[in-house]
Structure 1
Amino acid sequence: MTRFEAATTRERRKLFADAVVAHRNRGSAFLTVEADYDPDVDGEDAPAPWIQFADRTFNMDVTDDELEKLKGMLSSYPEFRIDQLESPETAEGTNVRITARSDANRLAAFTDDAFQTVYGRDEDYRAWVVAV
């Protein structure tokens, strides 16, 4: 992998798929993708959204509203399923673990869709692969 960011649907999905392949080939612990911070969507105190993937599992933090959007989005991905929801009392929101047994392109599509559907990013949002 030589590039780490993209801002169109086609470029992002190619970047995410390449990151999944690199992650698998390297046997790395996980890969992490972040969307650019958007104060209109994220608010002033919230961090930019991120999604991790490791060992056939997505990991993401969501608010209650985002969790409902994620559950709705999963109907388009019947091969994926929520395995774990964890809501520590000291945190605002829920950590979600989703089993996702699929090819790199399908995983990339899910990641891109999640940033748009769950985290409210526009079609031209910029995403970064920050760890592979």
Structure 2
Amino acid sequence: MTRFDADTSAERRKLFADAVTAHRERGSAFLTVEVEPHREELRFGESGGDADGDADADRDGDSERGVGDAAGDSDRDDDGDDAESPPPWIQFAEKTFNLDCTDEELARLHDLLEEYPEFRVDERETPEDADGTNVRISARSDANRLAGFLDRAFAEVYDQPDDYRAWVVQI
């Protein structure tokens, strides 16, 4: 792969399909995609992933969005405003998507999955000390179908604007 970010739907879907193909060809452990925060949402000292494939944190199944955090700490305010929480991310490994969702995002995810009958929720984990649910979805499909799901998940589940920038931060 020679590019790692895109900010239009067509470019993102091409990027995601290329990333899935590269992930499969390399036999890598997983592929991670995250959304670049909007400028006004960046806090001092934060940045998105870079072209070298480095993310702000190692995504080995534990989430910065609160689900995988053993301490249960979350950057969300009590009123549910998530402007300070880390950007959304989705991992793909061995025909499985892994993502964290709040209750509202989980409801939107289930709505989206109605349009992908070949995808199945395999596992949901909601730790008592977390503010969300980790969801694992089996997704046996071609790279283009997976790419379409990724783009729609960021846009519809995580409520990203049409011009959101996505980064492939690990392949």
- Report the TM range for the smaller structure's normalisation: over 0.9
Distance in 1 of aligned mates of 2:168 and 2:129: 28
Distance in 2 of aligned mates of 1:81 and 1:11: 26
Distance in 1 of aligned mates of 2:20 and 2:33: 11
Look up the match of 1:24. Answer: 24
Distance in 2 of aligned mates of 1:125 and 1:102: 25
Query: How far has the Cα of 1:45 moved from its partner?
Result: 2.9
**Larger C-alpha radius of gyration, 1 or 2?**
2
Which structure has more strand as a fraction of its residues?
A: 1
Query: How far has the Cα of 1:43 moved from its partner?
Result: 2.6
Match of 1:79 among 99, 102, 118: 118
Match of 1:96 among 124, 135, 139: 135
Unaligned regions of 5+ residues in structure 1, if any? none
The 5 A counterparts of 1:57-76 are 57-76=96-115
Distance in 1 of aligned mates of 2:82 and 2:129: 20
Which structure has more helix as a fraction of its residues?
A: 1
Distance in 2 of aligned mates of 1:115 and 1:2: 22
Query: How far has the Cα of 1:20 moved from its partner?
Result: 0.2
- Please give the secondary structure, in 2, of the residue aligned with 1:76: coil
Query: How far has the Cα of 1:33 moved from its partner?
Result: 0.2
Match of 1:43 among 82, 87, 109: 82
With normalisation by structure 1, the TM-score equals 0.95
Look up the match of 1:116. Answer: 155
- Please give the secondary structure, in 1, of the residue aligned with 2:34: strand
Number of residues of Structure 1 aligned to a counterpart in Structure 2 = 130
Query: How far has the Cα of 1:27 moved from its partner?
Result: 0.3
What letter matches 2:104 in structure 1?
D
- Please give the secondary structure, in 1, of the residue aligned with 2:131: coil
Cα deviation, 1:16-62, whole Å, max 9, x if unaligned, reads 000000000000000000011244xx733311000000000000000
Unaligned regions of 5+ residues in structure 2, if any? 42-80
What letter matches 2:101 in structure 1?
V
With normalisation by structure 2, the TM-score equals 0.74
- Please give the secondary structure, in 1, of the residue aligned with 2:19: helix
What letter matches 2:17 in structure 1?
A
Distance in 2 of aligned mates of 1:83 and 1:37: 29
Look up the match of 2:4. Answer: 4
Cα deviation, 1:58-86, whole Å, max 9, x if unaligned, reads 00000000000000110111100111000
* Alignment root-mean-square deviation, CA: 1.0
Identity %: 65
